[in-house]
Amino acid sequence: MTTRAIALAFVAVLGLVGCTTGDTGGSPSTTPSTTPSTRDSARPGDRDEDAVLAAVRQLDLCALLDRAKAGGPFAGARPVARRPFECVLSGAADLVAVSVTGIGHGTRVESVTRSVGGAKAYVEQGGGCYVHLPVSFTTALRFSQAPASNCASLTGLADAAVAALANPDTFRAKPVWDACTALAGVLDADDAALSGNGPADCTSREPAASISFADDLPPSGERKPSRTTSIGGTRALVYEEAENCAVYWRQGPFDVRYGAAADFQVVARTSECGGATDLAESLMAVLGEAPPDDVAPQRPLLYRPDEPDSPYPGACAYVDELDPDGCAPYVAVAVPDDPAEILSAAADDADVQCAMAVRSVGARFGSELVPVADSGAGTRCFFVEPERRLQITFSLSHGKVVNSFGGEPVTISGHPGYVTTDGTSIAYELSTATILDGEGTLTLRVSTGPADADPLARAMALKADSVLADVLDSYFS
């Protein structure tokens, strides 16, 4: 099948979808698509964990919402706190809330990076709207609205909150307990054994136990009926579940200005009910005391749009991989002249792979795509953007083409191989020789980024064609 036939077939598969404009033919630009960065092996450092924790434990989220909603579409709603680290707007048409949650690489790459009120934000939409304002590598303020047909109202609310947080001390309240500090206070557990998705829940690996400031109801499908008991004079419900035992109780004091009640629900779990009851009794005592207040809070609280907020350097933070630990910003290197030497150099140096494609990718797809060199799983080059709308993966490896994607035959610039298309990506595997049993395989994959649910635009097939033709003609002709 010819190159043009493959491109036209791809267009037919995608159907009538939005088309992007841009050059789909001719020679590549003589201007590089990006200015390569100087390699810096040092990765960004996170903020002081204790200072960040102190800041969110003292932050009155309901007071923040009360200020931010004024004059907007949620002005008539009333902020209510039912548990620590969360505030909901009672009376809003949708479920609108702000909470302190965990944030990781997955959430970041599945969201669109924006500047909201002058702060770095990650906006995610799908059934609802979620605006994450990171305060550390692992913690964020999350504004949520569900359901939501668009993010305009919630983004406006977050924008007003960012402006208000220019002075976080305005919303400083008496500190509350976080789950891991409370759990560490009753278990002989190392800090490394404790983890949670935000400050409202915590799990210990050894000994196996967990605590959550849960607003949800006890489970309805427990193995045995719940039983009511008294633990240290506090009424508690004990549920024996499939793999553990859970104890629910109301914990006070919950002395907050916007509190729905003077207490909040807590859940403690261990593998068996005797241990869970003992754990609950110890936690009741700890949570009944004043929490520690001996660390200065993190200031400023939010990140600037250009400030690193993850452990990955530069544009590596935009790579749609589970953990791009082997990624580093691209540094310009010379590409050898001899095809055999190119194969050898590219196998050891992802920068060589980036250097082979950077000029053509910039000419065909635009300079917004930034190259990063990845040596975490083999060697390859990613071209990524903060908006996560498009990602290009380019690699060169030893060995003949094996059609690992189950594609259709294709020939580009006299080099045979295979192409695979679906609604969101197109992937090529081409021989570096004019026969399939050549010494090397060139792979190019163009896909919509995780923040874009739309089908891949039709023009991308022709642009990918052109990039491959440029690279093959330049280095393997």
Q: Residue 353 domain-assigned?
A: yes
Q: Predicted confidence band at 388 (pLDDT cuts at 50, 70, 90)?
A: confident
* Closest alpha carbon to 53 in 307, 303, 296, 300: 296
| Contact yes or no for 397/377 (Cβ under 8 A) | no
pLDDT of residue 34: 44
Q: Is residue 252 part of a domain?
A: yes
Residue 308 maps to a domain: no
State mean pLDDT over 382-401: 90
Is residue 316 within 8 A of residue 70, CB to CB? The reply is: no
Query: Residue 88's pLDDT is what?
Result: 96
Q: Are residues 95 and 210 in the same domain?
A: no
Query: Do both 362 and 449 map to the same domain?
Result: yes
Average pLDDT, the chain: 86
Angle at 463 between CA 457 and CA 467, to 5 degrees: 145
Same domain, 146 and 236: no
Q: What is the CATH number of the domain that holds 104?
A: 3.40.1000
In a domain, 45, yes or no: no
Q: Which residues contact 97 (CB under 8 A, 6 or more apart)?
A: 86, 87, 88, 89, 143, 144
Q: Give tens-digit pLDDT for 121-168.
A: 999 887 899 999 999 999 999 999 998 878 999 999 999 999 999 999
How many structural domains does the chain have?
Answer: 3
Token pair belonging to 244: 């553990």
Give CA–CA dist 56/140, Å, rounded. Answer: 9
**35/59 same-domain check:** no
Same-domain pairing of 249 and 211: yes
Answer yes or no: is 49 within a domain: no
**Does residue 121 sit in the same domain as residue 29?**
no
Residue 294 located in a structural domain: no
Residues 328 and 191 in one domain: no
* Residue-range definition of the domain harbouring residue 161: 54-171
pLDDT digits (tens, 9 = 90+) for 18-31: 333 333 333 333 33
Range 274-292 average pLDDT: 94
What is the pLDDT, as a whole number, of residue 389? Answer: 84
For residue 46, tell me if it sits in a domain: no
7 lies in the same domain as 105: no
pTM of the model: 0.82
pLDDT attached to residue 224: 64
Task: For residues 168-194, give the mean pLDDT.
Answer: 88
361 and 257 in one domain?
no
Instruction: Confirm whether 432 is domain-assigned.
Output: yes
For 207-254, how does the pLDDT look when each residue is reduced to its tens digit (9 = 90+)? Answer: 899 999 987 776 665 556 688 999 999 999 998 877 889 999 999 999
Buried b (16+ CB within 10 A) or exposed e, 99-121: bbbbbebebbbbbbbbebbebbb
If asked whether residues 225 and 183 sit together in one domain, one would say yes
327 and 450 assigned to the same domain: yes
Q: Find the range with the poorest average confidence among 55-69, 374-388, 401-415.
A: 374-388
Binned at pLDDT 50, 70 and 90, residue 46 comes out as very high
User: What is the C-alpha separation between 468 and 426, in angstroms, rounded?
Assistant: 13
DSSP designation for 71: T
Which of 271, 287, 303 is at the close of a domain? 287
Q: Are residues 333 and 443 in the same domain?
A: yes
pLDDT the model gives residue 159:
97
- Domain boundary residue, one of 117, 139, 171: 171
3-class SS of residue 387: coil
